[in-house]
Chains A and B, each alone.
Chain A
Amino acid sequence: MASVSIKVVYQNETFLQAGIKKKVQISEDQLKFINRNRNKGFLTVNWEKTGSKNLLKYKVSNMTALSEYVKQNLTQEKYFELIRQIQRLMEFASENNLNYDHLVLTDPKHVYYDIEKKKIGVAYLPVLSRDYKCANVVKFLAKLHKYANITVTDQGVMQKYVFFLNDYLKTKKSSVLTHNHLYNLLHEVLEVSLGTPSQIAAEESGQTPADSSKTAAVGADNDHTIVVSGGKKAECPAYLKDENNREFAINHFPFTIGRKADNDLALTDKGTVSKLHAVITFENGTFYIEDKDSSNGTFLNNFAENSQRVIKEKLNSGDVIYIYNIPYVFTVNSADNATVVVGDNANRKKSESKNNKSKNIAYLVNSSSNEKVPIFVYPFTCSEISGIVIGRENSRDRHSIYIENISCSSLSVEGSDIAEGSRESIFSGCNFLYHGIPFTFFEEN
């Protein structure tokens, strides 16, 4: 059996890295497939070939190892919802002829959880070889259970589950736990309620890929039909807005603009526009507008017959692109609504990280529920911490972040009480108690 080395590496972003033999053939189809199906629970992956190995780097930035996540206090329902997610992922893998054994379900340390999206992310080895065996689902579940800290609401169900795991581990070592087994266990043996179908539908459609409005309208995964309002715009890295405020999502690159109908932005009734007039590209974290030898030219931020035509120019959010004389405002989606970016395109991932990094300056984590509250601007307040303000002040030669108690009867920072009307400097990692709820403040970068 071939071995795979799995570890976490940090290269400006955090990756779960799987190292496999150099000679093993990577299936690019599978690689693309899993990157397209991030919303199903696959971790987005990049493939690098080094002199000695194939390195598969799974992006896990802003995610928590499942082993760590379950150490928090979890309700029984939440816990089984996690297992249900694993089951659905296995089901999906099986339906799409992906090899079970290539799901990296060895250890909860290697499975990740996105707290914001409430989604599990499992690494999948997109290889043609059948030598790898990374999934031992029963062992995985047993380990997960060992780590987990669950608030048990139904002792009977929990006992049944634990009994099942132990029984499986002892007696059925060789047999494989399939998604069907797991489904039966959850539904028939344990009768676990996992939310109403509409809740699940809403959750899943929230993760619907950006690449087409069609998908959203037809039904995200053949199970549920739901249209997410504003989804199209919200999930693309950038968009164009015309004079009538109509928005055109730029959801892949190059994004073509021209008179012919097959362009992404087709201006079929405009005689001054060339068949393929211009394209918007995304390279190394930057958007560009490029003229495609159009007859009448493309202009940026200033249109005049004799002004300088664009050949290839960097785009910034807010720039006005003139397709000859027709203006379009180019806008980069800000991080708050670009939460889902589908990872079949390395460029798009970069745009995501770019957005996140430039917009999100800090965040709060509710240490008991693990919820993350992003901070985009100072001074900041929100419903979770009403009555207190987090701000930035400049004094003499430096700036600092402070937390100010405006009207909160109970606030303490790192053990010191902060009375109403007073403030305290804070910095990354500082813990504070707001009405007894623990929060930690983190600065980005």
Chain B
Amino acid sequence: MTRRALAATAPTARPGSRAGERCYPYATVLPVMLVVALFTVYPLIYCVHLSLHENVLTRPLDHDFVGLQNFREVITGYYFWRSLCSTALFASMAVLAVTLYGLGTALLLNQAVLGSALLKVVVLLPWAIPAVISGIIWRWIFDGDYGVLNGLLLVTGVVRRYVPWMSHTVTARLCMVVAHVWKQGPLAAVFLLAALQVIPPELHDAAHIDGAGRWDGFRFVTLPYLKATLALVLIYETIVAIATFDLVYVMTGGGPADATAIIGWYAYTEIFRFLNLGHGAALAIILGVALLGLVLVYLRALGSEET
């Protein structure tokens, strides 16, 4: 077919409709772009703006530009380093526990046992429960006056009287970790289970023929295959643990004293209780940058593992 013939068969479009066709893709993408800008870019810019200005809600007329003063005040403030230490302690305990729980559960679920399909669903359930609800459940379980944990321990003779778990700094922190693991562990287990299921069984058979025991099989066959997924779990769980807020809000309110006042809670307190939006925004930015740094470190480690 000649070019002229092709031109003859082509639909004749008016100039206006051609312009409409050119605009159409942009117009369809625009709403999405606007939504992304509205819910991601604008809050970010606004947060930076807040952090650079005085913004105490009880002084609504004072919004002077203060540069980095909010950052300086936050970092030199009474609670910052304490909450940073609490966050580091909580995150390290939580990430380790979630990873171990996930790994253990995944290894168990990977065995071909009766009802394992049902078990996989049941194990995932806590992850599907909203964090606030799971926090309330665990607060009741650990309650010092009527908690079911105390009831069980008393009946089985482990304790002589009810223990106020949430009233001591050490046990309150542990309670938070337990609740966090219950909520986050299932997701880690699912990730790791997926990775376990792609390991070729012949590798384990070969290792077995070579005389490897269960531990050696795990160490030299399973673990190398899980490394990438483990790194992913570590990154995700570190972010989640550091940014935890809902459990503190529901379970402890940062107490007793400031034992569970991790940095997410501190930012919330600055905004909603101390009414200092400038400080809260500065803290949120510090938290965001710290998380970004951590992710980059993890990614670099993961990259070097892969090469």
Report whether chain A binds chain B. Answer: no
**B contact set with A: CB distance below 8 Å:** none
**A contact set with B: CB distance below 8 Å:** none
